[in-house]
């Protein structure tokens, strides 16, 4: 049996960065939180805490913001195993473009160079997520925070910004939405 996960499509990433289709509120927050490393149950739990309609994943898939993925070998997604879009849609994950054909994601073997590359990748993913989400939620009001974010050079630097990040999100987003987004950042930084 295949394990299904969801990843943002190019349209989903474009909506987060440019607001082309004007997706708003709780649906936008859930689009931000979609990540192939999260099982649908976790997303549904977060959605319930935020108060979004229970069919939000179906709506995001129907509207082309996310696409379902599956592991060809039934393993967990996306860190290990082969990842394949179920409907042939190209999708974008934190690790980059997942093409129409299977893409192999390899776990780090623990070699020093691979560890450094893995650490850098985790730092970049967390920093990009923080930047994208704070700009998405706050718009131009995020300018000062993004300047502070740009000075960060390690995951520890980013972790020190998390309380201010969550506080900035709460200025516009609801408490449950801000908490859910901040939880995702903490996961990326762990």
Q: Map 8-71 to HEC letters.
A: ECHHHHHHHHHCCCCCCHHHHHHHHHCCCCCCHHHHHHHHHHHCCCCCHHHHHHHCCCEEEEEE
**Torsion sign (Cα): 131, 59, 183, 105:** negative
pLDDT for 113: 61
- What is residue 83's predicted lDDT score, i.e. its pLDDT? 39
The pTM of the full predicted model, rounded to 2 decimals, is 0.63
Arithmetic mean of pLDDT, 161-167: 92
With a cut of 70, say whether residue 9 has pLDDT above it.
Answer: yes
Residue 96: how many other CB atoms lie within 10 Å: 10
Checking if the pLDDT of 157 tops 90, the result is yes
Give yes or no for residue 166 having a pLDDT over 70: yes
pLDDT surpassing 80 at residue 93? no
Average pLDDT score over residue span 109-134: 77
- Band of residue 151 on the pLDDT scale cut at 50, 70, 90: very high
Measure the CA–CA gap between 50 and 150, rounded to whole angstroms: 29
Residues 9 and 67: beta-carbon distance below 8 Å: yes
Per-residue pLDDT band for 38 (boundaries 50, 70, 90) equals confident
Per the prediction, the chain carries an average pLDDT of 77
**Angstrom distance (rounded) from CA 2 to CA 21:** 32
Write down the pLDDT at residue 99. 30
């Amino acid at each position: 049996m295949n394990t299904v996960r969801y990843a943002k499509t190019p349209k989903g990433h474009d909506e987060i960065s440019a607001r082309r289709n004007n997706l708003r509120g709780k649906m936008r927050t859930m689009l931000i939180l979609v990540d192939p490393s999260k099982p649908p149950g976790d997303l549904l739990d977060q959605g319930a805490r935020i108060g979004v309609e229970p069919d939000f994943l179906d709506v995001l898939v129907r509207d082309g913001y996310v696409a379902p993925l599956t592991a060809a070998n039934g393993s967990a997604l996306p860190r290990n195993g082969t990842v394949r879009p179920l409907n042939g849609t190209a999708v974008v994950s934190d690790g980059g473009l997942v093409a129409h054909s299977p893409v192999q994601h390899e776990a780090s073997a623990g070699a020093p160079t691979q560890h450094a590359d893995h650490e850098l990748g985790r730092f970049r993913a967390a920093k990009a997520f923080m930047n994208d989400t704070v700009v998405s939620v706050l718009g131009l009001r995020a300018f000062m925070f993004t300047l502070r974010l740009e000075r960060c050079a390690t995951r520890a630097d980013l972790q020190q910004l998390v309380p201010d990040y969550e506080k900035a999100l709460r200025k516009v987003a609801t408490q449950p939405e801000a908490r859910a987004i901040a939880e995702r950042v903490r996961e990326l930084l762990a």
